[in-house]
Structure 1
């Protein structure tokens, strides 16, 4: 047994002061729980993870679940799970290389950028996010990123800003791969990035799988996808099995998501078409309206195609007649103004009237949690 120690990681170049601690996570000589510099969130993680108490000898990392809407859970990783993730990632991308960190380092996506670079023998580059994400600063950092192969990882909201900057866009085209995850990448955004020549790779994964474990819909080497309880349409709850799967949750030894060692049952609903995984939505975010079930992500995928919509989140709000009503919260694009009736008509034509938003709310920005994921709970609280 060894004590679990806190690892405060700043979102900026000062994170490089902790390289020895990060190497200790990789070799298993110590156990750390990465935490942000925010006092409030740090206190929550300290209590939830039992920081200061002992962990098993093989555990070297407890990392928070970014998808949690209440008390976060801590995924338990070992040097073996992290090594399996690093190997599989390098194999898929074409070889080991150096990485630029442009994400918060205490979440799994940002943390893995650091760990993969160190595992390959490189010192990662770090973007200063203290004043927010700046595409031109990203271009400067990429100009100075050395390595046999060069990678970085962004969330979709960052990619939107990059594509508005010709210089940043050009800088990304010179990478060997840009990983985009943290939230589903809208198809219009994906096509715009591909047309610009950016070597984009869509990733799917979570802290429970040491980060991305499915790239462009196909699992990395050693990862297996199973759909649990598939419907007649082939939609089921996604289960992931492989060497990079966490050893359960910290202080939650009998959690049903890890009922079988090496397998994690997600809350995501998906379908596999010709070997490619497509995430349809989340079981815990479904909207029940008038006795019918609506998956927000399906409606969002249609609304985001409207040229007036830059970002979109669909939520269910209380309704006396329907139980819940479908509401679209959108950020307008710079090129047009949102036409609520047009959005309703489009969703009605593509899906059905029951899925069309009863209300369309325009906001300046969407609240997020974790690495770029929309915070639906905050939206429901704000507008409910």
Structure 2
């Protein structure tokens, strides 16, 4: 099958290309692979080759089939319902691709928020989405990252137009990173119906909703690492059979599993994610999950959007360091003391952050996720 590289960043161009890719083709390449890194031909059934490095890793070109993408879209509709979708995300990341695929599968043209994301732009597009079919209102849905939800909630608490826009959606999916409980509660108080999602490019986006896998998806914890199986899995990494074999493992029963690299548990069918296998520092000889520290810190006022990274420490070897936007923190010493107290109470003394670093703006990837490599560089 022929592979075409999509140039430009207009979501409407991607929508047109996806419509073809989900049919007879050609497949489309998204992301920014090194020049000459992708072939002109890809396996039959491929819809999208999405090159991503996430927030920490090296580039990888994930092969997503028509079957995987449509299976994900259909499973989402089965879980939360069908209707019209709003795309406020970067279209060339898997969450954005899936919003468009859901619209195509459901036969409803997605609404698109173009340009810079803001509460006012969100209200403008959301207000124009209302429609009916046979006299019955068509439900609306959207997908956000936590930083976008934080922007909307902050505005909605003072602007009734934003509050009405949030409450108008049947469901708002939120993924890409951990969602602070306090932020979800604030959104719920405004009438927003939030569903927390978990997944990755390798699973065609979110495949676990509020801890429960979508229909057809299986999640297991093997030696503490979460593994995922089901029809939404990617075919692997284009041109990298060794990595594909390492990450996508087939068990003795012939079931193909994706090794997520995430630490978590599955209890009574509910998935809990506690962090990354490799996002750990050794502080005073004790392994400390930076993800766990970050979850604790983000429940504190003013630190809801903070990022926790590791940094060398002369005494302890390594320690967690909190990085936050200067405008959100009223008093630096008080915020650091609160973060240290909360981390010690929840995890233990080695988890106490050694510093709070304030920056004008937290570096982010185009997907809206924190750019952890850039943030670690700021810490030094």
Q: Given the two structures, how large is their TM-score scaled by the length of structure 2?
A: 0.90
Kindly provide the CA deviation profile for residues 83-106 of structure 1, in whole angstroms up to 9, marking residues without a partner as x.
Answer: 111110000012x22111101110
Report the 3-state secondary structure (helix = DSSP H, G, I; strand = E; otherwise coil) of the residue aligned with 1:263: strand
Q: Do 2:55 and 2:372's aligned partners in 1 also have CA atoms closer than 8 Å?
A: no
The residue that corresponds to 1:56 in the other structure is: 43
Q: Do 2:2 and 2:25's aligned partners in 1 also have CA atoms closer than 8 Å?
A: no
Please state if 1:285 is matched with 2:285: no
Query: Aligned partners of 1:28 and 1:262: how far apart in 2?
Result: 26
Query: Aligned partners of 2:308 and 2:55: how far apart in 1?
Result: 18
Kindly provide the CA deviation profile for residues 25-46 of structure 1, in whole angstroms up to 9, marking residues without a partner as x.
Answer: 21142111123xxxxxx3x354
The residue that corresponds to 1:162 in the other structure is: 152
User: Aligned pair count?
Assistant: 362
Report the 3-state secondary structure (helix = DSSP H, G, I; strand = E; otherwise coil) of the residue aligned with 2:208: strand
The residue that corresponds to 2:129 in the other structure is: 145
User: 1:272, CA displacement in angstroms?
Assistant: 2.3
Q: Do 2:173 and 2:194's aligned partners in 1 also have CA atoms closer than 8 Å?
A: yes
User: 1:262, CA displacement in angstroms?
Assistant: 3.7
Query: Aligned partners of 1:15 and 1:77: how far apart in 2?
Result: 18
Kindly provide the CA deviation profile for residues 88-144 of structure 1, in whole angstroms up to 9, marking residues without a partner as x.
Answer: 0000012x2211110111000011111110111121111122xx2111110110111
Q: Given the two structures, how large is their TM-score scaled by the length of structure 1?
A: 0.89
The residue that corresponds to 2:90 in the other structure is: 104
| Equivalent of 2:230 in 242, 266, 270 | 242
Query: Aligned partners of 2:198 and 2:213: how far apart in 1?
Result: 9
For structure 2, the residue ranges without an aligned partner over 5 or more in a row are: 132-137
Please state if 1:372 is matched with 2:352: no
For structure 1, the residue ranges without an aligned partner over 5 or more in a row are: 36-41, 230-235
The residue that corresponds to 2:102 in the other structure is: 116
User: 1:364, CA displacement in angstroms?
Assistant: 2.5
Aligned-CA RMSD value: 1.9
Query: Aligned partners of 1:91 and 1:333: how far apart in 2?
Result: 41
Query: Aligned partners of 2:342 and 2:177: how far apart in 1?
Result: 23
Per the alignment, do residues 159 and 68 of structure 1 end up closer, same or farther by CA in structure 2, a change over 3 Å counting?
closer
Within 5 A, what are the aligned runs for 1:125-274? Answer: 125-129=111-115, 132-146=116-130, 148-165=138-155, 166=159, 167-229=161-223, 236-255=224-243, 256-260=246-250, 262-274=256-268
User: 1:195, CA displacement in angstroms?
Assistant: 1.5
Per the alignment, do residues 77 and 350 of structure 1 end up closer, same or farther by CA in structure 2, a change over 3 Å counting?
closer
The residue that corresponds to 1:39 in the other structure is: none
